[in-house]
Structure 1
């Protein structure tokens, strides 16, 4: 489901520190679990370093502040902390259409669980959604994804995720937090 150009832009933004916390956590999980994701992140970080070294800031002695993803997070969450959390201890709630969700602890994040053979309904996305498979596998009509895979649901694309195999599929799902609704909470 992820177009190559969308993946490249997502990982480039991650290396530059441009993501909201929700997407930064998704990218960190992908990098931690997927060797290709780690390599992509390393390449974009190296390119960013070369560009900074050759920029006017470096030539004029200006101050450059390094992006520190973990320290800058309001929730204090990290990929390592999310991966260490036992999934069975989460407070899973079944949504209207049967899919189970649990809070991941940061705005714009949640865990999603599909039992073996279970499907989510066909749906699309109005904005970018990042999904990282933590355990199990799922297929959505565009591909089959396993542990560490990053699936970027792009606006307008439709899919129907279904768990594949005998194991439940647990994913970390991130989207841009919608600050408008926070005024009513």
Structure 2
């Protein structure tokens, strides 16, 4: 389970945090956010680089236990670095209270980062494990002649908006995120 969480966390970072190296000058600074409210934690997750803090008012937003008013962390930030083929060091990272961002939402492509992608990906998709389990159970039931499916079951809306596919016309890879292909047809 921890390995799966680490893989999804890495994927989320790749999707959410595309560095300025991707030519994002046409993109607005990201503003999307959502509150992670599970396991007795209330934590603000921002699409931009500062996490666990409200960037507009610089207030901590990582509350443990949830509802206590106690924030165990004030803020966090992504730092990523590496060497270019000619051994030049490149670093993308933010400092607390600094202006601007090194990270923009959306997939990188050979054409850079497109403003349209920045707008489309400036949000946090919040899914719950139970939603996935119920979804799989529903389809398992549909394929089992001894099972009566719940007639009130509805696929969660977030499943329809989750960014599975990129736009190849913009130079993005077609499949951005992994998904369970229940019927094996290659379509989400």
TM, length-normalised to structure 2: 0.29
Structure showing greater relative contact order (alpha-carbon pairs closer than 8 Å, 6 or more residues apart): 1
Which protein is richer in helix relative to its size?
A: 1
Q: Which has the larger radius of gyration?
A: 2
TM-score when scaled to structure 1? 0.29
